[in-house]
Structure 1
């Protein structure tokens, strides 16, 4: 799928790439010619991913660490530079998941999710941006979002908060880093992963696909496919061809591609002198038609 994009000479770090979507991203980048730093906190998973990439003719090394700290982010960038001489792409995929409703969420679970997803994205993005500025020639930051960060999801307080914040980073960083020719975009993937298997409605389908059955066409049309279905967008956003694309977030999966709109006010009105609570109570009857309908994460 990525044979038409040539990433030869480019170097990428993919966090959380020992398995699942992260591994698929790393393998696709390597197939297109990039040298890849595979990162995971599971040393066996990271080594297995590197072995698979090199066995297929690609170039990769493993850097085992849990993202979230400045030290881990710096180590990832330094490994890329030490092994391959430069860094061109940082794909921030790593993160832990703890499905808990607000009333059951513990501080420890909240810290784990926010540290891995949000703090991991910020520290890795910052370390990569510093390297891009130092070496010149621009760079690519590819942040991985989630449908939960766009539309919410029951039991995903910490995860949705982290993923929504990551989308906000796209808007900030794409402006801040434009002057050094760094593009910043987010991919909001949907795929039949082990994480998806925790959703009761998808558990059986995940098992069947893992056993070799195709993804049902209706599910692909809704935007859910295999992990490999998501990789072409990551490869494209890593390439010189995507130099004009920044500040965007894309839903991608199965047979569906979508571009998310940036937040905008949907209704505005004015009252000279402002409002009192009583006046708001009276006026809200006329505002009701403009209120946003709640939607579940798809």
Structure 2
């Protein structure tokens, strides 16, 4: 993939997945605006990219506000002359079960993930439409947004909303040649370590230095941040010009296309449904095969695929 001449903004790029995205885009030839709330972390990533012969600048600002979004787009244009790719990766966690989650816990996560994605995408879309040469909006979601996750009301809601925005913006920006996709990554990061299902496995790998076993990479789709970055490069490239409005999962050895919500079962009653009629028909009708929910716990090695 050759991204020479393209300019990308990556939010939350000071570490983890965001850093992997920024470095992979730069390695493919793109100039990168490295954003993070941590000024030192953003500077280190930009310096690492330029030290390897790439082009990058760092902009330390917390995403969420329109002012922050405008600043990131302006930095790309002022330094590199244009904007072609936006990767909205910035995020925080404030995990609590519903009855213990405060307003501040909820608002903080929504501000960064959902509002931050909205304001940055809006600013980028304005610029890309003005340029008239298309563009790429790559929005980072999560399995929690697709299936829900215990203790993550705020995070799951934000990540589900991000996928919904991707589908909406794919329609709105189609005429401008701007594709919009959501990425659903699974990788070993500090954020992933807060998920009970994955924390022990990640900690064991860090303690021993051994790579993740094949069953985990394949059956659970859990790998490194570098495993995920390849999808970002593809979606930023000309090869993905006809890919838009999709939610694409990647992690370890697994690449997947998530389905969109759709009616699974339908039943009809002449004149409409009473509560009693719904109750009488539920288990043999539309409720015969209820949907699962929540992120499944990783399978044990002895029960996973060989």
Match of 1:286, SS state, is coil
- Residue 130 (structure 2) aligns with: 134
Deviation, structure 1 residue 95: 1.2
- Residue 213 (structure 1) aligns with: 210
- Is the CA contact (8 Å cut-off) linking 1:170 and 1:247 kept in structure 2? yes
Find the aligned partners of 2:14 and 2:23 in 1 and give their Cα distance: 10
Deviation, structure 1 residue 294: 2.1
- Residue 193 (structure 2) aligns with: 197
Bigger shift: 133-142 or 273-282?
A: 273-282
1:272 correspondence with 2:270 = yes
- Residue 31 (structure 1) aligns with: 27
Find the aligned partners of 1:276 and 1:209 in 2 and give their Cα distance: 55
- Residue 226 (structure 1) aligns with: 224
- Residue 239 (structure 1) aligns with: 237
Deviation, structure 1 residue 288: 5.7
1:294 correspondence with 2:289 = no
- Residue 156 (structure 2) aligns with: 160
Find the aligned partners of 1:168 and 1:41 in 2 and give their Cα distance: 26
- Is the CA contact (8 Å cut-off) linking 1:189 and 1:253 kept in structure 2? yes
- Residue 251 (structure 2) aligns with: 253
2:140 to 123, 140, 144: 144
Bigger shift: 202-211 or 155-164?
A: 202-211
Deviation, structure 1 residue 196: 1.9
Q: Which runs of 5 or more structure 1 residues have no equivalent in the other structure?
A: none
Question: Over the residues paired in the alignment, what is the CA RMSD in angstroms?
Answer: 1.4
- Is the CA contact (8 Å cut-off) linking 1:20 and 1:227 kept in structure 2? yes
How many corresponding residue pairs?
Answer: 294
- Residue 301 (structure 2) aligns with: none
Match of 1:295, SS state, is coil
Match of 2:57, SS state, is strand
Find the aligned partners of 2:22 and 2:116 in 1 and give their Cα distance: 18
Find the aligned partners of 1:243 and 1:288 in 2 and give their Cα distance: 39
Report the TM-score when normalising by structure 2. Answer: 0.93
1:73 correspondence with 2:35 = no
- Residue 302 (structure 2) aligns with: none
- Is the CA contact (8 Å cut-off) linking 1:30 and 1:53 kept in structure 2? yes
Match of 1:266, SS state, is coil
Match of 2:284, SS state, is helix
- Is the CA contact (8 Å cut-off) linking 1:35 and 1:58 kept in structure 2? yes
Deviation, structure 1 residue 15: 0.4
Q: Deviations over 1:160-189 (max 9, x none)?
A: 000001011111010111010000011100
Bigger shift: 203-212 or 62-71?
A: 203-212
